[in-house]
Amino acid sequence: MISKNKFLGSLLLAISLTGGQALASSIEPVPDQELEEVPLTDSEAQPVTVDLAFRDAEPSKEQSMEEEFLPDLPVLLDGKLYSAEELEKAGIQLPHYVLDSNAAEQNILLGFRDAASLKVYLERTGQMPSSEPQAAAALPCWFRPPAYFFDGTYYTGRYFSVRPGFGYANLGIWDNRISSIRGTRCGRWTLLTELPYFQGRRLWLGASWAVPNLSSYRMYPYFWPFRQTWNNRASSVMVFW
Protein backbone atom coordinates (compact mmCIF):
# COMPACT_ATOMS: atom_id res chain seq x y z
CA MET A 1 0.00 0.00 0.00
CA ILE A 2 1.38 3.41 -0.93
CA SER A 3 2.26 5.63 2.05
CA LYS A 4 0.71 9.05 2.52
CA ASN A 5 4.07 10.79 2.12
CA LYS A 6 4.91 8.89 -1.05
CA PHE A 7 1.47 9.54 -2.50
CA LEU A 8 1.64 13.27 -1.86
CA GLY A 9 5.23 13.45 -3.08
CA SER A 10 4.26 11.86 -6.39
CA LEU A 11 1.28 14.16 -6.75
CA LEU A 12 3.17 17.38 -6.03
CA LEU A 13 6.09 16.30 -8.20
CA ALA A 14 3.74 15.71 -11.11
CA ILE A 15 2.25 19.17 -10.56
CA SER A 16 5.69 20.79 -10.59
CA LEU A 17 6.72 18.97 -13.76
CA THR A 18 3.76 20.38 -15.67
CA GLY A 19 4.78 23.94 -14.84
CA GLY A 20 5.24 26.92 -17.11
CA GLN A 21 1.66 27.28 -18.30
CA ALA A 22 -0.59 30.28 -17.82
CA LEU A 23 -3.72 30.23 -15.70
CA ALA A 24 -6.42 28.01 -17.10
CA SER A 25 -8.96 29.98 -19.11
CA SER A 26 -11.75 28.07 -17.38
CA ILE A 27 -10.79 29.17 -13.85
CA GLU A 28 -9.90 32.69 -12.71
CA PRO A 29 -9.55 34.77 -9.55
CA VAL A 30 -12.83 35.95 -8.07
CA PRO A 31 -13.81 39.28 -9.70
CA ASP A 32 -13.56 42.38 -7.50
CA GLN A 33 -17.13 43.49 -8.16
CA GLU A 34 -19.19 43.36 -4.96
CA LEU A 35 -22.65 41.79 -5.08
CA GLU A 36 -25.63 41.84 -2.78
CA GLU A 37 -26.16 38.69 -0.74
CA VAL A 38 -29.22 36.79 -1.96
CA PRO A 39 -30.40 33.63 -0.15
CA LEU A 40 -32.65 31.05 -1.80
CA THR A 41 -36.30 31.78 -1.20
CA ASP A 42 -37.78 28.30 -1.49
CA SER A 43 -35.06 26.34 0.34
CA GLU A 44 -33.50 26.71 3.77
CA ALA A 45 -29.75 26.93 4.33
CA GLN A 46 -28.39 24.48 6.89
CA PRO A 47 -25.09 24.09 8.75
CA VAL A 48 -22.81 21.61 7.01
CA THR A 49 -20.24 19.24 8.47
CA VAL A 50 -16.93 18.19 6.97
CA ASP A 51 -18.12 14.57 6.87
CA LEU A 52 -20.67 15.59 4.23
CA ALA A 53 -17.88 16.86 1.97
CA PHE A 54 -15.92 13.62 2.13
CA ARG A 55 -18.66 11.20 1.24
CA ASP A 56 -17.60 8.78 -1.46
CA ALA A 57 -20.18 8.46 -4.19
CA GLU A 58 -20.85 6.06 -7.01
CA PRO A 59 -21.10 8.27 -10.11
CA SER A 60 -24.49 8.23 -11.78
CA LYS A 61 -24.93 6.60 -15.17
CA GLU A 62 -26.94 9.43 -16.66
CA GLN A 63 -25.65 11.01 -19.83
CA SER A 64 -26.46 14.36 -21.39
CA MET A 65 -25.74 15.89 -24.78
CA GLU A 66 -23.94 19.19 -25.25
CA GLU A 67 -23.91 21.04 -28.56
CA GLU A 68 -20.65 22.88 -27.92
CA PHE A 69 -17.41 20.91 -27.98
CA LEU A 70 -14.84 22.10 -25.44
CA PRO A 71 -11.29 20.76 -25.19
CA ASP A 72 -10.42 18.68 -22.15
CA LEU A 73 -7.92 19.68 -19.50
CA PRO A 74 -5.46 16.98 -18.47
CA VAL A 75 -6.54 15.25 -15.26
CA LEU A 76 -3.87 14.62 -12.64
CA LEU A 77 -4.72 11.36 -10.90
CA ASP A 78 -2.40 9.36 -8.61
CA GLY A 79 0.56 11.42 -9.81
CA LYS A 80 -0.10 10.80 -13.52
CA LEU A 81 -1.66 13.03 -16.16
CA TYR A 82 -4.57 11.46 -18.07
CA SER A 83 -6.45 12.58 -21.14
CA ALA A 84 -10.22 12.09 -21.33
CA GLU A 85 -9.72 9.18 -23.72
CA GLU A 86 -7.27 7.47 -21.35
CA LEU A 87 -9.67 7.79 -18.42
CA GLU A 88 -12.49 6.37 -20.50
CA LYS A 89 -10.37 3.48 -21.80
CA ALA A 90 -9.30 2.61 -18.26
CA GLY A 91 -12.89 2.83 -17.01
CA ILE A 92 -11.84 5.21 -14.23
CA GLN A 93 -14.64 6.77 -12.21
CA LEU A 94 -13.87 10.03 -10.41
CA PRO A 95 -16.12 11.03 -7.50
CA HIS A 96 -13.98 14.04 -6.49
CA TYR A 97 -12.78 16.87 -8.78
CA VAL A 98 -10.58 19.65 -7.37
CA LEU A 99 -9.85 23.14 -8.71
CA ASP A 100 -7.39 25.03 -6.51
CA SER A 101 -4.27 27.16 -7.00
CA ASN A 102 -2.23 24.11 -8.03
CA ALA A 103 -4.78 23.20 -10.69
CA ALA A 104 -5.07 26.79 -11.96
CA GLU A 105 -1.33 27.39 -12.20
CA GLN A 106 -0.78 24.21 -14.22
CA ASN A 107 -3.96 24.34 -16.32
CA ILE A 108 -5.09 20.93 -15.08
CA LEU A 109 -7.91 19.33 -13.14
CA LEU A 110 -7.08 17.29 -10.03
CA GLY A 111 -8.96 14.01 -9.79
CA PHE A 112 -9.33 11.70 -6.79
CA ARG A 113 -10.65 8.16 -6.72
CA ASP A 114 -11.88 8.35 -3.13
CA ALA A 115 -12.16 10.56 -0.06
CA ALA A 116 -9.10 8.99 1.60
CA SER A 117 -6.67 10.07 -1.14
CA LEU A 118 -8.29 13.52 -1.31
CA LYS A 119 -7.80 13.99 2.45
CA VAL A 120 -4.09 13.19 2.09
CA TYR A 121 -3.73 15.94 -0.50
CA LEU A 122 -5.72 18.51 1.47
CA GLU A 123 -3.94 17.81 4.74
CA ARG A 124 -0.47 18.07 3.19
CA THR A 125 -1.27 21.25 1.29
CA GLY A 126 -2.94 22.92 4.29
CA GLN A 127 -6.37 23.09 2.66
CA MET A 128 -8.54 20.93 4.90
CA PRO A 129 -12.08 22.33 5.11
CA SER A 130 -13.73 23.21 8.40
CA SER A 131 -17.32 23.76 9.45
CA GLU A 132 -16.19 26.45 11.92
CA PRO A 133 -14.29 29.69 11.22
CA GLN A 134 -10.57 29.76 11.90
CA ALA A 135 -9.33 32.59 14.12
CA ALA A 136 -7.56 34.37 11.27
CA ALA A 137 -10.52 34.12 8.92
CA ALA A 138 -13.43 35.00 11.17
CA LEU A 139 -13.01 38.78 11.29
CA PRO A 140 -12.20 39.43 7.60
CA CYS A 141 -15.30 37.50 6.61
CA TRP A 142 -17.52 40.20 8.00
CA PHE A 143 -16.22 42.41 5.20
CA ARG A 144 -15.72 39.91 2.38
CA PRO A 145 -18.37 38.28 0.21
CA PRO A 146 -19.66 34.69 0.38
CA ALA A 147 -19.83 32.23 -2.52
CA TYR A 148 -22.19 33.07 -5.40
CA PHE A 149 -23.93 30.70 -7.80
CA PHE A 150 -25.32 31.97 -11.13
CA ASP A 151 -27.78 30.55 -13.64
CA GLY A 152 -25.89 32.18 -16.54
CA THR A 153 -22.31 31.78 -17.67
CA TYR A 154 -19.76 34.50 -16.84
CA TYR A 155 -21.63 35.45 -13.66
CA THR A 156 -24.77 36.62 -15.43
CA GLY A 157 -28.46 36.12 -14.81
CA ARG A 158 -29.96 35.37 -11.44
CA TYR A 159 -27.84 34.22 -8.52
CA PHE A 160 -27.89 33.19 -4.88
CA SER A 161 -25.21 33.32 -2.19
CA VAL A 162 -24.00 31.03 0.60
CA ARG A 163 -21.79 31.89 3.58
CA PRO A 164 -19.07 29.49 4.81
CA GLY A 165 -20.35 26.82 7.17
CA PHE A 166 -23.67 26.49 5.35
CA GLY A 167 -25.17 24.70 2.40
CA TYR A 168 -28.41 23.80 0.63
CA ALA A 169 -29.29 20.11 0.56
CA ASN A 170 -32.01 20.73 -2.00
CA LEU A 171 -31.83 23.63 -4.44
CA GLY A 172 -35.55 23.66 -5.26
CA ILE A 173 -36.15 25.75 -8.39
CA TRP A 174 -32.35 26.07 -8.72
CA ASP A 175 -31.89 22.35 -9.24
CA ASN A 176 -29.67 21.76 -12.29
CA ARG A 177 -29.45 25.49 -13.06
CA ILE A 178 -25.98 26.59 -11.91
CA SER A 179 -23.73 27.64 -14.83
CA SER A 180 -20.99 29.71 -13.15
CA ILE A 181 -19.56 30.20 -9.65
CA ARG A 182 -17.70 32.84 -7.70
CA GLY A 183 -16.11 30.89 -4.84
CA THR A 184 -15.79 32.15 -1.30
CA ARG A 185 -12.95 34.51 -0.38
CA CYS A 186 -13.60 33.85 3.31
CA GLY A 187 -13.42 30.08 3.65
CA ARG A 188 -11.36 27.46 1.86
CA TRP A 189 -13.85 25.59 -0.34
CA THR A 190 -17.03 25.96 -2.34
CA LEU A 191 -18.54 22.61 -3.34
CA LEU A 192 -21.06 21.56 -5.96
CA THR A 193 -22.64 18.15 -5.47
CA GLU A 194 -24.27 16.28 -8.30
CA LEU A 195 -27.37 15.03 -6.46
CA PRO A 196 -29.69 16.38 -3.72
CA TYR A 197 -28.79 15.95 -0.05
CA PHE A 198 -25.07 16.21 -0.79
CA GLN A 199 -24.92 12.97 -2.74
CA GLY A 200 -23.10 12.10 -5.95
CA ARG A 201 -19.92 13.50 -7.45
CA ARG A 202 -18.29 16.64 -6.08
CA LEU A 203 -16.56 19.63 -7.66
CA TRP A 204 -14.28 21.39 -5.15
CA LEU A 205 -13.48 25.05 -5.89
CA GLY A 206 -10.66 26.55 -3.81
CA ALA A 207 -10.68 29.85 -1.97
CA SER A 208 -10.84 33.02 -4.09
CA TRP A 209 -11.27 31.15 -7.40
CA ALA A 210 -14.16 31.44 -9.84
CA VAL A 211 -15.44 29.37 -12.76
CA PRO A 212 -17.08 31.52 -15.47
CA ASN A 213 -18.38 28.55 -17.47
CA LEU A 214 -19.02 25.17 -15.86
CA SER A 215 -19.26 23.56 -19.30
CA SER A 216 -15.46 23.67 -19.26
CA TYR A 217 -15.34 20.77 -16.83
CA ARG A 218 -16.45 17.31 -17.83
CA MET A 219 -17.45 14.42 -15.64
CA TYR A 220 -15.49 11.30 -16.48
CA PRO A 221 -15.81 8.95 -18.21
CA TYR A 222 -17.89 10.26 -21.10
CA PHE A 223 -18.98 8.88 -24.45
CA TRP A 224 -18.92 11.12 -27.52
CA PRO A 225 -21.28 12.63 -28.69
CA PHE A 226 -22.88 12.18 -25.27
CA ARG A 227 -20.99 13.97 -22.54
CA GLN A 228 -21.57 15.26 -19.06
CA THR A 229 -20.30 18.56 -17.73
CA TRP A 230 -20.85 20.43 -14.49
CA ASN A 231 -23.03 22.98 -16.30
CA ASN A 232 -26.63 22.79 -15.06
CA ARG A 233 -25.69 19.68 -13.08
CA ALA A 234 -25.58 20.56 -9.38
CA SER A 235 -28.45 19.69 -7.05
CA SER A 236 -26.90 20.77 -3.73
CA VAL A 237 -24.07 23.05 -2.59
CA MET A 238 -21.78 23.50 0.42
CA VAL A 239 -19.33 26.22 1.50
CA PHE A 240 -16.61 25.60 4.11
CA TRP A 241 -14.16 27.61 6.17
Cα–Cα distance between 33 and 108 in angstroms, integer?
26
* Per-residue model confidence (pLDDT) at position 29: 94
CA–CA dist 53, 96 (Å, integer): 10
* DSSP helix/strand/coil, 210: strand
pLDDT at 140: 59
Sheet holding 28-29, edge to edge: 28-29, 209-211, 180-182, 147-150, 159-162
Give residue 12's pLDDT.
Answer: 47
**If the chain, 241 residues long, is cut into consecutive pieces of 10 residues, what is the mean pLDDT of each piece?**
48 42 66 90 92 79 43 82 84 90 90 95 94 66 80 96 94 96 93 94 95 87 66 95 90
pLDDT at site 84:
77
Check if the beta carbon of residue 220 is closer than 8 Å to that of residue 96.
no
3-class secondary structure, 36: coil
CATH superfamily of 4-240: Crystallins (2.60.20.10)
pLDDT recorded at residue 224:
52
Closest among 143, 181, 135, 162 to 239, alpha carbons compared: 162
CA distance 203 to 201: 7
Which residues are paired to 191 by β-bridges? 204, 238
- Residue 125 pLDDT: 95
Cα–Cα distances (Å) from 184 to 54, 82, 89, 146, in that order, read: 19, 29, 36, 5
One DSSP character per residue, 122-184 reads HHHTT----SS--HHHHTGGGTS--EEEESSTTS-S-EEEE-TTEEES--GGGTT---EEE--
pTM for this structure?
A: 0.84
